Amino acid sequence: MTDDLRRWAADTWRSLAALTDPRTGLPADHLAADLDPSSRSRYTSPTNIGGLLWCAVAARELGLIEPRDCAARCAAALDTLAAMRRDVASGMFFNWYDEATGARLEVMPDGGVIRQFLSSVDNGWLGAGLLVVRNAVPEVAGPAGALLGSMDFGRFHDPEVGELWGGFFVDADGLRPTGHHYGHLMSEPRICSYLGIGLGQIPAGHYRGLPRERREYRGLAVIPTWGGSMFEALMPQLLIPEADWSPAAFGASHRNTVAAHRTFGLDDARFGYWGFSPASTPDGGYSEWGVAPIGLSPTEYPSDVERTPYAVGRETGWGDGVVTPHAVAMALMVEPVEATDCLARLERDLGCYGPGGFCDAVGVRSGKVARRYLSLDQSMVLAALANVLADGVLQRYCTDGELDAELRPLLEAEPAL
């Protein structure tokens, strides 16, 4: 099993290296599965950059690159970040940049005009990457710490309701908050909450006040996410040892979330494979994918190309299920044997693999593979593999310091699920 994990890690790093522009050190959002540099997307996001930073550390820890290469890659990205345009008051980065120049994009490569936005989710993941590098790479600890220190995550906190805004739109007369908050514990920006609390920018009461819903599927109790996807539930676990700090709540929920994905994929939908999370469609588009019974969204994240509602699927069955390897990879931290088996079969039986590791998604009945690599999804794969192979290495680097002191007591006090 370990040999497969190490091979998958090496190939995944190959895709991340190919995604990276050598002049700026920034990763493209995606590229084709043949790793042709000309297929880079020509745009990137704060999340993509944060993911590349922690993946450079993961690659060093796994012996895939030398320490000096890790430091050089981090230094290039940090130098570019320091010069990039961002909101002066909050220190937060905008939603889209040109990975080849670091310039803020006003128009996407496809011609779409961008409405400038500061995202609590995106900036949270960038901040997490900076924290990992600050703690793990001495050669660039100063610049990484300076960038992190200039970011005020408290700007996303609305004290009137005690929750985080989705972000801020940038209008001619300044910043305007989105019309929605993230109003439950297991939501996308909880990494932003964690950083803000750890850095003393968001009060601990924000965490304590978030609703903790309970949802049960086939006897598996979980703290539900919005869409029932693995990304929402487990991505923070890549950097924060939620299950270790809170075994009776986060630990139980993560364990049951993975079991629910496996049970749904194998027993309910009879796909033969499992693991559902926002990713590419088999034809190269993009969509949310999830397990509806453990999600809160009334419109449901689908699990198949046909977007079959759960109530209908229970009666008539599901169509071409879309399994996402990064979702299965994150499950390695919870069910290593079962997840390794699923990944091995995705590679062997469905050909969902290429020179840069697992391709982004596959239709399990059609066998149609989305033959491209997404920077975000590859960064989740490599982080999960590094944690499994190197005993939670990214979790240790991320929480060494403020988060251990300020955040750990909150999670340890979390009531049982």
How far apart are the C-alpha atoms of 396 and 409, rounded to whole Å?
16
The pLDDT-based confidence of 188 (bands split at 50, 70, 90) is confident
CB 297 within 8 A of CB 227: yes
> Mind listing the pLDDT tens digit for each residue in 216-238?
999 999 999 999 999 999 999 99
> Mind listing the pLDDT tens digit for each residue in 116-143?
999 999 999 999 999 999 999 999 999 9
The pLDDT-based confidence of 1 (bands split at 50, 70, 90) is confident
Q: Where are the alpha helices (DSSP H) in 235-283?
A: 242-245, 252-263
> Mind listing the pLDDT tens digit for each residue in 274-286?
999 999 999 989 9
Question: Above 90 in pLDDT, residue 373?
Answer: yes
Question: Above 90 in pLDDT, residue 174?
Answer: no
How far apart are the C-alpha atoms of 81 and 75, rounded to whole Å?
10
Residues in the chain: 417
The pLDDT-based confidence of 352 (bands split at 50, 70, 90) is very high
Mean pLDDT of 243-251: 98
Domain ranges in the chain are: 2-412
**What pLDDT is recorded for position 364?**
98
**What pLDDT is recorded for position 248?**
98
Average pLDDT, the chain: 97
The whole-model pTM stands at 0.98
**φ/ψ (deg, to 5) at 402:** -60, -45
How far apart are the C-alpha atoms of 372 and 90, rounded to whole Å?
35
CA distances from 29 to 37, 50, 71, 108, 201 (A): 12, 12, 22, 12, 30
CB 12 within 8 A of CB 382: yes
The pLDDT-based confidence of 383 (bands split at 50, 70, 90) is very high
**CATH architecture of the domain with residue range 2-412:** Alpha/alpha barrel (1.50)
Question: Above 90 in pLDDT, residue 172?
Answer: no
By percentage, how much of the chain surpasses pLDDT 70?
100
